[in-house]
Structure 1
Amino acid sequence: MSTLRERNFRRLKQSIAGEKSDGHAVFNFYTFPFFQAVTGVNLDDYFHKPEVTLKCQIEALEKLDGIGNPLPDMGSVAEASGLGGIVKFDDHGFISVHPNPDIADADDIDDLDWLEPGDPYGDNYMRQALETLQYMVDNCPKGYTVNPHPVMGPFTVGANLRGISDFCADTIAEPDLVNKILDVVVETQIRFMHAQEEILGSLHHILVADDLSAFLSEPAYREFILPRYQQMFKEFPDTQRWLHNDSTARHIAPAIADSGMVAWQYLPSINPHDALELTKGKVTLLGGLNPLDLQKWTADETYDKCIEVLKSFEGNNRCVLAAGGSINQVPIENLKAMFKAADDYKIK
């Protein structure tokens, strides 16, 4: 008999492929705050010692019946740190990236003549991610597959380097400057993805985290975002594109449907029926649950609420049960209740 891990993976694969399935899959985007909440790991060790990263993640995943895979996890800083973004840690050890002053202070494109793509093996967190990836590949326990480090959306990286409000305003006032930054960011990401591909042997999929692109209008999204996704993945035609954008993105949902993404983790304020209609059935939709609700429910309440959401999918397995955002403070028992509900609920 197949395990719950195997059944969930099969259903997720069938959903992405647009194939019929006997049930709905569950998807969770596990990141460093979740792993710390579960294991109490010291985050300085987590970010800088690959053996700690792997041990911590496997410890947490084992509590979830092994449903999930380990991956390098430098938060959102990897590519931006290779382009002069300032990496900082808060009082809790959480990692973040802040603008490169030389990019933030540029008045126009001529002030960025010096800007060149970053080196994935330079003194930055892309290199740390690659070292962690190599360690995981060499030491991953049997039964798990190592996933690649997610990439940030090019616009999100550019906004982090320039300053979010200024970069959004630049799309109107200084579009040439925006395109210059995006060109350099995309080339950096292509190099980062090739380096990961070399370690893994192939890139089955890449998760693109791109919340900040939702600050644009749909026409601007089509002008600045969609061409960059195509540019990023041109050299990776066999790599599936998964999108995490749980910002207020209803207005760009039709454009996301045209982005080449095979899956989209979306904000819980969009109900599944609307998400399906807006994306015309082109994309597997990961959502339906609010992580803030998941934090406060009991396991029994979680199970019952999940069944309600699964019923709302109306048998369409292009809908995958997921929280529309961070699950950092969601109890393990509630996450297990999600998996049990999806496994119990059969598509007729």
Structure 2
Amino acid sequence: MTSLERILSVFQGKTPDRIPVVPIIGQTAARLNGMRISEELRSPETLADSRIACRERFQYDGVYVSAETWVTAEAMGAPVQYSEDAPVQGTTPLLADKKQIDRLIPADPACDGRLPLLVKALEIAVRRAQDQFAVIGNFDQSPFSLACALRGINQVMLDVYDNPVFIKKLLDICTETVIRYARAMAEAGAHILNTGDSPAMLLGPENYQKFALPYQQQVFDELQPYDIPTTLHICGNTTKLLDLMSQSHAHSLELDAGVDLVAARSRLSEHITIIGNIDPVGVLLHGRPQDVSASVKSLCEHASQLGRFILASGCTLAPDTPPENIQAMVTAAQSAQTM
């Protein structure tokens, strides 16, 4: 099987020749390739080359085309700060004054911010992959997370209680931006589409149902005609939210290190693919290669109980993750028994 066939077979409910393995490598790729983060983002070609070079070095099954979590917010006008060798960060909230929402419009992935760069990089990566490995388009962020970036997370959490009409208006605009960006990635040829909604973790189940889930569903429903596997990621221990996350209409859930995957499977539909969840900090960043191998082996021993399963890091790898630990993760996964 090619790496792409291996991953897609899991989404299709088939048995691959071995467990697919995908360390979630975002801007860590720049460091691994001896360049600054700002250098990796200087052109679509550089970004695609960097991600593919990491895949060729470690031989895992899929590459993420992504930046940090401010791409869509910046495209909608949020002020951000650039650094030479650190991820872009937001500065002051664009919507500190809620009256500014009357000027807010959805971003256009053809011309706004860095969206065109990311879409073009994905297109290049897909072309160079030649269907040998999976190219994962990361259209961060999901609507609620984008709203938090534009308004400020603390203010949004207050607005949920004090001004829900305003928040829902903001979420409608954010949802349109997310859909446009995701569609652009789908049309650029992405094999898999991925998004994150980590601030939604703070809502709790009741408010998650009101302010996160309906907008996630809108996004994933709009992507159904493309017939591309979709993935939802929320950082942290999302055990209490699993039932709701499974209703997002995503085909798979990326689960972080705090979630017991076997217990999670018992609460999820057999049609949902589980992706995860080697600890990206305690094991992959701070552990030794033998610690990584042991963690991978332990998880792979439960593969038959997990059903549709792709081995991955629980979240994006830190920039200083030792390359020998990435290699240990991939090697241990590739030597595990077939699912």
TM-score interval, smaller chain: 0.7 to 0.9
In structure 2, the residue matched to 1:80 is 73
1:137 shift after superposition? 5.3
Equivalences for residues 264-343 of structure 1 within 5 A: 264-292=253-281, 293-328=283-318, 329-343=320-334
Equivalences for residues 167-316 of structure 1 within 5 A: 167-200=156-189, 203-237=190-224, 238-292=227-281, 293-316=283-306
Segments of 5+ residues of structure 1 without an aligned counterpart are: none
Gap change, CA 1:10 and 1:239, over 3 Å in 2: closer
Query: Contact 1:286 / 1:320 at 8 angstroms: preserved in 2?
Result: yes
What is the alpha-carbon distance in structure 2 between the residues aligned to residue 81 and residue 297 of structure 1?
Answer: 35
Q: 2:40 aligns with which of 46, 61, 67?
A: 46
Over the residues paired in the alignment, what is the CA RMSD in angstroms? Answer: 2.6
Show CA shifts across 1:7-47 (max 9, x none).
x5444323322334454322322101x11221121222211
Query: Contact 2:61 / 2:134 at 8 angstroms: preserved in 1?
Result: no
Query: Contact 1:315 / 1:347 at 8 angstroms: preserved in 2?
Result: no
Q: Is 2:23 the partner of 1:36?
A: no
Deviation above 6 Å: which 4+ runs of structure 1? none
Show CA shifts across 1:132-154 (max 9, x none).
3455456x265456443433111
1:222 shift after superposition? 1.4
SS at match of 1:294: coil
SS at match of 2:137: coil
For the pair shown, which has the larger CA radius of gyration, 1 or 2? Answer: 1
Q: Is 2:326 the partner of 1:345?
A: no
SS at match of 2:103: coil
Equivalences for residues 87-98 of structure 1 within 5 A: 87-90=80-83, 92-98=85-91
SS at match of 1:191: helix
Segments of 5+ residues of structure 2 without an aligned counterpart are: none
Question: Which one-letter code corresponds to 2:208 in the other structure?
Answer: Y
What is the alpha-carbon distance in structure 2 between the residues aligned to residue 310 and residue 144 of structure 1?
Answer: 21
Gap change, CA 1:114 and 1:327, over 3 Å in 2: closer
SS at match of 1:208: strand
1:99 shift after superposition? 4.5
Question: Which one-letter code corresponds to 1:334 in the other structure?
Answer: N
What is the alpha-carbon distance in structure 2 between the residues aligned to residue 251 and residue 56 of structure 1?
Answer: 37
Q: 1:14 aligns with which of 9, 20, 24?
A: 9
What is the alpha-carbon distance in structure 1 between the residues aligned to residue 63 and residue 258 of structure 2?
Answer: 28
Question: Which one-letter code corresponds to 1:206 in the other structure?
Answer: L
SS at match of 2:110: coil
**TM-score of the pair, normalised by structure 2:** 0.87
Query: Contact 1:256 / 1:279 at 8 angstroms: preserved in 2?
Result: no
What is the alpha-carbon distance in structure 1 between the residues aligned to residue 267 and residue 92 of structure 2?
Answer: 34
Gap change, CA 1:235 and 1:257, over 3 Å in 2: closer
Which range moves more in the overlay, 41-50 or 19-28?
19-28
SS at match of 1:321: strand
Query: Contact 2:277 / 2:315 at 8 angstroms: preserved in 1?
Result: no
1:98 shift after superposition? 3.9
